[in-house]
Chain A
Amino acid sequence: MLNAYEDFSSRTLARIPTVIERLIYIASTRDYNSGLYHHEGLASRFTAAAAAQALQCAHAEAFQTVSAMPLRQLSHEIEEYMKSSREESAAFLNAWQKLEPYRVAIPLDVDATIAELFVSNVKIALAILRLHLLKQADHPSTALPLPSPGPRSLPQLRN
């Protein structure tokens, strides 16, 4: 029999394509006022406490993965998330750069330096996406897509 964490990972998280989306989804299951996690389906299959524990573990894991991501991969992940949100790229970037909603994705008991690194990396990744958008607007036909995470697939933007 699966435990709550495995169940959540295999049934829910596995369907979410990028880690950043997973992180945002898990953070959204946390109550802003109490900091407690809640997931109706998971709590009904297990207990509310087990579900909260599983969500907390999954949150910490996703956060560590995103924090350790190289900028190339992180900008690619945010770009994918931006596309999946179906918002205009400019509007998405404006909101993320001004409101910084990604700060709510930080777990409660995280190392302060890692939390700062996460915020800093997302800021830089957003600046990269903004630059990419500007290049696209200047030269719509010649703009190259954002380099994908695989090191071998990195297009040569400049020699």
Chain B
Amino acid sequence: MIYLSLLAALFLFFALVATIARSFQGESDLNFGGPHFDQEAISLESGNDDANDALNLEIFLRAFGDDDQRFVDTLGDLGLQRLLAYERKRIALRWIGRKTAEAKGIMRAHLRRVREAVDLSVSAEIRLALQYVELLTLFEFLSVSVFIFGPAGLQRRALRTNAMLSAMRHFGQTSVSGAVAL
């Protein structure tokens, strides 16, 4: 009974942290997509833009290396160190939020196409659904981890989640495209 209570308390704690972390991913003052920014629409259209995506990821991840932290540490100012930690955490959470939205957009667009498809591979669809659940769980874990511990371990996990998202994007398109054509 005690263990069950502990588990429930842990679950509630992580749910609370995830909720707080998600609130950090709220709309930023930088809306570069304009008022009609549709994550769902761009996710499929940008499928052939992998090179750009990789370059952006490289720039993004470079910011989470040790160089900047070491440099700011040498300046010996606590306020500056806090500012760097806060900004990096904020950017990391925003990135996770965007990628989560992108994954959801891919899935929604895929489901729309699936409804019109006549020839579907059930095993492929199950695989995609499992991949989607795994990805969302990873993003949730990443979000909690960044919120609690900061973005220190983000680099490795971000590469993995991004690769999974990219695979899902391609898979979501190719698995149905043939069916739609029929």
Interface of A with B (CB < 8 Å)? 64, 67-68, 70-72, 106, 108, 110-117, 119-121, 123-124, 127-128, 131, 147, 154, 156-158
Contact = CB atoms under 8 A, between A and B. Distances in A.
**Interface SS of chain B: helix, strand, loop or mixed?**
helix
A12 to B, nearest CB: 24
Given A116-B30, A119-B30, A70 B67 contact: yes
A124 B84 contact: yes
B90 to A, nearest CB: 7
B60 A117 contact: yes
Range, interface on chain B: 20 to 34
Contact of A128 (B60, B62, B80): B80
B87 A106 contact: no
B91 interface: yes
B59 A117 contact: yes
21 contacts: A68-B59, A70-B67, A70-B71, A71-B67, A72-B68, A72-B71, A110-B32, A111-B52, A112-B33, A113-B91, A115-B30, A116-B28, A116-B30, A120-B88, A120-B90, A123-B83, A124-B80, A131-B77, A147-B71, A156-B74, A158-B74
A76 to B, nearest CB: 11
A114 B32 CA distance: 11
B67 A127 contact: no
B68 A70 contact: yes
Contact of A114 (B60, B67, B72): B60
Closest 3 CB pairs of A and B: A158-B76, A111-B56, A71-B68
B6 interface: no
Nearest to A132: B75
Contacts of A147: 71, 74
A150 to B, nearest CB: 12
B80 to A, nearest CB: 6
Contacts of B32: 106, 108, 110, 112, 115
Contacts of A120: 87-88, 90-91
Contacts of B91: 113, 116-117, 120
Interface of B: 28, 30, 32-33, 52, 55-56, 58-60, 62-63, 67-68, 71-72, 74-77, 79-80, 83-84, 87-88, 90-91, 94-95, 98
B75 A114 contact: no
Contacts of B58: 68
B74 A71 contact: no
B121 to A, nearest CB: 33
A71 B76 contact: no
B96 to A, nearest CB: 10
A71 B56 CA distance: 18
A154 B71 CA distance: 9
Contact of A157 (B56, B60, B74, B79): B74
Contacts of A116: 28, 30, 91, 94
A68 B95 contact: no
